[in-house]
Amino acid sequence: MEMIYIYFFAELVLEPGEYVTSTDVRKWINQMLIPEEGKPLAISTINRRLNSLRSFYSWAQKNKKIIHNPMEDIQELKSADEDHEKIMWLTEEEFEDLFNRLRKTRVKSRGVDREEKYRRDRAIIYSLTYAGLRVDELSNLKLMDLDLDLKRIRIVGKGGKVRTVPFSTTLLNEIRDWLKFRVEKAKSKPYVEDSPYVFYSQRSPRLTVRGIQTMVESYSLPDKKLTPHMFRHTFCKWMLKATNNDIEKVRRLAGHSNIATTARYLKDSYSDLADAVEALPKF
């Protein structure tokens, strides 16, 4: 146990006895998951080290060596079983192609306003992809959760946990366009005017989870079924690329309680590998 404590301080370049926070521990976890040199440690190995560190700090707190235990908010990492949950995301080309289909798709039900459906579906897909929302989070998203001036979204996630995600300029423009259109539709649809929700259906003030799933699936291709969660996967994948694999930032934005969940997205797609090969020097 004492050796892990010494190893922990050495890895973080801290002096023994310095105060430690949960952020320091998460940084150590990141270093083990994504080392600058060598291979990442196995989840089981990392968990053994965390348990040893947890025992040390429990002893230190019990003996009044410290007031706050930095391990209180640190959970064991969970390994993802890829055979049971395959992560699927969209490439930039697939995302662009989707919006081309969105423009051209005809409505199948009578009485459905084609422009209204197009604008709503577009705003929904952008929200799922550029804010990393879960489908139930999107269904429950309220107008009061949007702060356009401060450019942020308040999201109530699993277990009632609240996180705040900054608006990207791309998403901010899409949401503003949708809200302007929504105001116009509210003049002819009283239930829209009274609805506190950002997205509504043709007959209801709130678009349900099933309604969102059905809408997204309707734009699938024969060889690739679309699901709302696929856009959340896309958000995580694109954010890792944008942040140079900063999994702690992506974990916070996505609302993952366990950083190992975020680490799953580090696996490269075949397209990523092909791009890397093409980037080799040409002589």
Domain boundaries, the chain: 2-62, 92-233
Quick one: which of 198, 96, 186, 120 has its CA closest to 156? 198
Q: pLDDT at position 219, please?
A: 92
Q: How long is the chain?
A: 283
Set 65, 78, 158, 180: catalytic member: 158
pTM over 0.95: no
Q: Which class would CATH give 92-233?
A: mainly alpha
Asked if 70 and 20 count as a contact pair (C-beta separation under 8 A), the reply is yes
- Structure tokens, 152: 């942020």
**Would you call 57 a catalytic residue per the annotation?**
no
Question: What confidence tens digit (pLDDT) does each residue in 85-105 have?
Answer: 456 888 889 999 999 898 888
Q: Look at residue 109 and give its three-state secondary structure.
A: coil
Place of tokens 């908010």: 73
84 belongs to the catalytic site: no
Of these residues, 54, 237, 251, 256, which one is catalytic? 256
pLDDT > 50? residue 6: yes
Is 158 a catalytic site residue?
yes
Task: Please identify which of the residues 130, 197, 200, 265 carries the catalytic annotation.
Answer: 265
Nearest-CA neighbor of 132 among 97, 168, 102?
168
- Alpha carbons 90 and 233: distance in angstroms, whole number: 8
The answer to whether 256 is a known catalytic residue is: yes
Q: Rounded mean pLDDT of 159-176? A: 91
